[in-house]
Amino acid sequence: MIRLDAVGKSFTTADGDTVEALGEASLEIEAGEFVAIVGPSGCGKSTLLRLIAGLIAPSAGQVSIGGEPVRQPRTDVGIVFQAPTLLPWADILSNVLFPLRLLGRRDAAGIARARALLAMAGLAGFEHRKPRELSGGMQQRAAICRALVHEPAILLMDEPFGALDALTREEMALELLRLLAARPATVVFVTHSIAEAVILADRVVVMTPRPGRIADLVTVPLSRPRDFRQVSTPEYDSVAERIRRLIFRRPAVRAAA
Ligand SMILES: Nc1ncnc2c1ncn2[C@@H]1O[C@H](COP(=O)(O)OP(=O)(O)OP(=O)(O)O)[C@@H](O)[C@H]1O
Ligand SMILES: [Mg+2]
C-alpha cells in the first residue's frame, strides 16, 4: 500500500546550511495496517509523514502509494498535523466539512457524518463556534474529525493526541480504533508515547536520533480489540521494553519474563 524506498530528506536553512532531516528510510506498510512511529524529538517523524502525504518531495529515494509514485497530496489521504491548523474565519462544522468541499462532496450524508464525528469527539454544541473560541485540545479534536470526514483510505496522524489531557487522550485513541474497526483504513501514527504506540499499532517503527533512520520495526503481539488495561500484561512489557532499548540504544539486560 505505502512504500518507502531509501527515502531521504535534507533541507537548506535560511543561512544556506544543509540539514539532514531524514536519513535513508525504507518501509512497506500493508493496506489496513496501523503503524506507529516513535523516536526522539527532531528525528524526522513529521518529515516522514509529510513525504508520505506528498506535501514535500524527497531529496533521495521514492515514496509510492498503491504502486504509484507520490508527487502531490492525494484525495484519499486524511492528515492530522502536529498543530490543529484550522481556518480561523470558518466555524468548527465548516472546518470539518472542508475536505468534502474541496472534493465537491459536501452533501447531506457528509454533513451528518461531520456532526456525528464532532459528537464522538465531545464537540456537540460547538459546531458554530470559531476555532479561537475552543481550547487547544478541542481544536485538535476538530482537526481529527476533519481528517476523517471524507473516509480516507489512508490516515496520516502527527501526534494527534499530543495536546489532550491523559484521560481524553485514551478515550480518543480507543474511539479511533472503534472507527477503524467499522471502516478500515491504513494508518501511520506519530507519537511520543510508547504506551499509545503499542496499544494502537500492529507494528511500531522506532527511529534513531537525527538524522533519523529506522532503528527497527517491532510487531505488537497484543490481541484486538485493544484496551489500555493491556499495559499491565507481560506481552505489553516485553514490547515496550524492546522499544525503549531501541530508542535509548541500551543493550538487552534481561530476557522478558
Ligand atoms: N522546512 C525545514 N527547513 C529546515 N529544517 C527543517 C525543516 N523541517 C524540518 N527541519 C529539520 O529537520 C529535522 C526533523 O524535523 P521533524 O519536524 O521531522 O522532526 P520530528 O521528529 O517530527 O520532531 P518532533 O518530535 O519534535 O515533532 C529537525 O532537525 C528540523 O529542524
Ligand atoms: Mg514532529
| pLDDT tens-place string over residues 32-79 | 999 999 999 999 999 999 999 999 999 999 999 999 999 999 999 999
Q: 112: how many CB neighbours lie within 10 A of its CB?
A: 10
User: What's the pLDDT band for 212 if we cut at 50, 70, 90?
Assistant: confident
User: For residues 11 and 19, what is the distance between their CA atoms, to the nearest angstrom?
Assistant: 5
- Find the 80 Cα to ligand 2 centroid distance in Å: 11
For 124, residues 6+ apart whose C-beta sits below 8 A from its C-beta are 115, 118
Q: Is the CB of 9 under 6 A from ligand 1?
A: no
Share of the chain above pLDDT 90, in %: 83
Q: Is the CB of 172 under 6 A from ligand 1?
A: no
* Ligand that lies nearest to the alpha carbon of residue 25, given by its number in the listed order: 1
Q: How far apart are the first and last CA of the chain?
A: 36
> What is the 3-state composition of the chain as percent helix, strand, coil, each rounded to the nearest 5?
35, 25, 40
Is residue 42 within 8 Å of residue 210, measured between CB atoms? Answer: yes
Q: Is the CB of 223 under 6 A from ligand 1?
A: no
Cα 137 to chain centroid, rounded: 16
Is residue 7 within 8 Å of residue 25, measured between CB atoms? Answer: yes
SS3 245: helix
Query: How many residues are recorded in the chain?
Result: 257
Residue 256 has pLDDT above 60, yes or no: no
pTM of the full structure:
0.93
User: For residues 105 and 79, what is the distance between their CA atoms, to the nearest angstrom?
Assistant: 18
The residue extents of the domains of the chain are 1-13+28-76+153-257, 87-151
Quick one: average pLDDT of 15-24?
Answer: 92
Q: Measured from the CA of 39, which atom of ligand 1 is nearest?
A: 21
User: For residues 180 and 174, what is the distance between their CA atoms, to the nearest angstrom?
Assistant: 10
If you classify domain 1-13+28-76+153-257 with CATH, what class do you get? alpha beta
Q: Is the CB of 46 under 6 A from ligand 1?
A: yes
